Amino acid sequence: DTEVTQTPKHLVMGMTNKKSLKCEQHMGHRAMYWYKQKAKKPPELMFVYSYEKLSINESVPSRFSPECPNSSLLNLHLHALQPEDSALYLCASSQADRGRPQHFGDGTRLSIL
Amino acid sequence: DQQVKQNSPSLSVQEGRISILNCDYTNSMFDYFLWYKKYPAEGPTFLISISSIKDKNEDGRFTVFLNKSAKHLSLHIVPSQPGDSAVYFCAASAGNNDMRFGAGTRLTVKP
């Protein structure tokens, strides 16, 4: 069982839809992350929140909008996505100190029609 | 620009033998290196890490070696077991939570 919970596990949406991906952890971690992973590729960092503040945005298009309502929750709001945005979206959390390992959820498999 | 490289997409070893997975990096600012293991339909699971002030870290059957001058690290699994079959990702960070992953190596351990 993973300690980082992501919902939904699968999501199919049209290009005009608005949906949200959710991530939750109760390990007391103060850093949370969103990654995008395409097939046979490594996870690519999208956003980092540290102490509920956005600290890294890897030049992600504005159709992806992250939100960290509190230290346990991380959302990724999706709007007007493109077919190339279809991928596995992984959430992770860690202690905020340098070099601490990240704990990953099992991801949301997103398909854009 | 791929700052972390795993040049072997796959590796096959016999049960009980040693598995050696390799990783190279280009950014000299990286000071923490981690290995993750990934099974299908699951997120990556942390395996072992090493900081740049060390050249070796061991945890049970898993040992990570770091050669800073060559910008190279390796993961040794001894003895290899069929349950070790998975994709292994090398990752590195410069200490600012910005972690970069290699492309992964699929390890198959044959009974």
Rounded Cα–Cα distance for residues A84 and B46 (Å): 28
User: Which residue's structure tokens are 């699951």?
Assistant: B42
Mean pLDDT of each 10-residue bin along chain B, 111 residues long: 90 98 96 94 93 96 97 98 97 86 96 93
- Tell me if B41 and A50 make a contact (CB, 8 A cut-off): no
Span A55-60, mean pLDDT?
A: 89
Span A3-11, mean pLDDT?
A: 96
B53 interfaces chain A, CB cutoff of 8 Å? no
The chain-wide mean pLDDT, for chain A, equals 93
For A:64-103, CB contacts with B below 8 A are 90, 92, 94, 96, 98-99, 101-103
- Tell me if B49 and A101 make a contact (CB, 8 A cut-off): yes
What are the pLDDT digits (tens) for A89-107? 999 999 988 888 999 999 9
Residue in A96, A99, A103 closest to B93 by CB = A99
> Is the pLDDT score of A1 beyond 60?
no
> Is the pLDDT score of A76 beyond 70?
yes
- Tell me if B32 and A50 make a contact (CB, 8 A cut-off): no
Q: Which of A113, A87, A91 is nearest to A102 (CA)?
A: A91
- Tell me if B44 and A104 make a contact (CB, 8 A cut-off): yes
Q: DSSP letter string over B92-105?
A: EE-SSS-EEE---E
- Grade residue A2 by pLDDT with cuts at 50, 70 and 90: low
pLDDT score recorded for residue A11: 96
- Among chain A residues, the shortest Cα distance to B40 is held by A106
Q: Which of B97, B100, B101, B106 is the best residue to mutate to test the A interface, defined by the most A CB atoms within 10 Å of its own CB?
A: B97
Question: What token pair was written down for B59?
Answer: 């945890």
- Tell me if A99 and B51 make a contact (CB, 8 A cut-off): yes
What is the amino acid identity at position A83?
P
**Given phi > 0 = left and psi -120 to 50 = alpha, else beta, which region is A99?**
left
Q: Which of A58, A110, A66 is nearest to A86 (CA)?
A: A110
> Is residue B107 within 8 Å of residue B86, measured between CB atoms?
yes
Question: What token pair was written down for A35?
Answer: 């990654």
What are the pLDDT digits (tens) for A21-38? 999 999 999 999 999 999
Q: Which of A15, A25, A26, A30 is nearest to A113 (CA)?
A: A15
pLDDT score recorded for residue B1: 67
Beta strands in A1-113 (DSSP E): 4-7, 10-13, 18-25, 31-37, 44-50, 53-57, 64-70, 73-79, 87-94, 103-104, 108-112
